[in-house]
Structure 1
């Protein structure tokens, strides 16, 4: 593995964690939105990650297209949580349905905050990896002097 591929791996991790931070922020921002129907209520969203290891599992020195095997993180998609919504009896609310219930999102604020802290720290770790690789490359360039 070359030092250049480290930038691609850390960059894909940073991109994935950025998406994770954005979905978490969206969940927190919509945590108190109300709806009169279950279909109209906001549902928490989570990104699905997958590791990219093309060509590595088969012991192939070069990837499928003749280039070095690629590694990193890929965002497969963003899915909605299937946990049940919160139904609250609030007959005086303008969002209440005919039975007096209001639907609230299935967002757990404590879980979202923990997820945000984890994503933020993982993003920072990838930044540190890139900075370390950059420092190593700079030191290699000064070896010949």
Structure 2
């Protein structure tokens, strides 16, 4: 395998995981963001979908973000009649963000990013050794 292909593949993986981490951070930041009017929808959790893409420059299969979608699961209801977004019964729609799920996704993204970084470091080391041998 061409060394530059390995670097391109790892780079694409790191970019995809960076996008995933941004979405996770946004979800965690908005886990308590409710609507501003009675009955208004709160923040809706975002999801990331990946796609396998052929890189025409290198001819290698890489990964990219296919789309950032919305999680359509139901909102939870919390009883808080003093909240400005409470409905007539005193319930407020809460975001469908589960911090435990987000933290697990974050750990998985971090490990994937780290694995791609390790590939880049090993590839760089191989390239450096090859250059040293040519001296």
Question: Over the residues paired in the alignment, what is the CA RMSD in angstroms?
Answer: 1.6
Match of 1:37 in 2: 39
TM-score (norm: length of structure 2): 0.90
More helix per residue: 1 or 2?
2
Task: Give structure 2 stretches of 5+ with no counterpart.
Answer: none
1:1-145 correspondence runs (5 A): 1-35=1-35, 36-38=38-40, 40-53=41-54, 68-145=58-135
User: Displacement of 1:70 after TM fit?
Assistant: 2.9
Counting matched residue pairs gives 133
Q: Give 3-state SS (helix, strand or coil) of 2:32's partner.
A: coil
Alpha-carbon distance in structure 2 between the residues aligned to 1:89 and 1:69? 56
Q: Give 3-state SS (helix, strand or coil) of 1:51's partner.
A: strand
TM-score (norm: length of structure 1): 0.84
